[in-house]
Structure 1
Amino acid sequence: MSENAARDPAAEVGIALQNGQKYTENIQNPHSAHEGNIDGRKLIEQRDLLGSPGGCQIGMEVGPNARALVIVLIGDDTAAACKKAEDVATALDKLLPRG
C-alpha cells in the first residue's frame, strides 16, 4: 500500500444531473442541511446521508426545475466526505449552464 493510500481513504463519488427536480427537493433532514452557493449558484449540503457518518451530498441549482447532485462517501469521515464533495461541486459548477 502506498503512503498516500494509507493517509487518504478510498472515496466513492457520484454525480447525477436531474431534470424535473429542484435542488431544494428530497432533503432528508432539513435541520442538519445548510444552504450555500458556489459563485452565486445556490446549493444545499446534507451531511451524514441516511443517518450514517461518512456521507455528504450537495444539490446544486442548474435551472428552475433542474439540479446536479454530488454524492461522496468516505468510510465514516463526514468532514472529509463534505470537503471532497465541495471540491467536486466547485469543479462541476464551471461545466454547468447558468440560469
Structure 2
Amino acid sequence: MLFNRPQSDTSKAIDDSSSFREAIFKELLRQVHHSYNLALAVTAASGLMTLAGVGLLYLNQIPAASITTAGGALASISCIQFARESKDELRKMIKLSEQSE
C-alpha cells in the first residue's frame, strides 16, 4: 500500500518545502539588510573621521591629520565595497529564488 498514498501528502511536502525555502530567504534578506545598515553606519562614521582629519590639517597638525584622513578613507572604501557585495549577493538570491519557482 506504499503507492496508495493520497495526493495531499505530496502537496503538503511541497508546501512545507516552499515555506522552508521562503523562511530561509527571509532570514538571508534580514541578514543582508542588517549588514547593509551596518556598512552605512560605518561609512558615515568614517566620513566624520575624514572630516576630522581635514580639520586637523587646518590646525597644522599634519601627522595626526594624515593618519586620521587615511584611516577614514580606507574605512569608507572598504564599507562601500562591502555594501556593494551585499547588494550583489541579494540580487543572486533573488535570481535563484525566481529560477526555483
Note whether the superposition's TM-score is higher than 0.5.
no
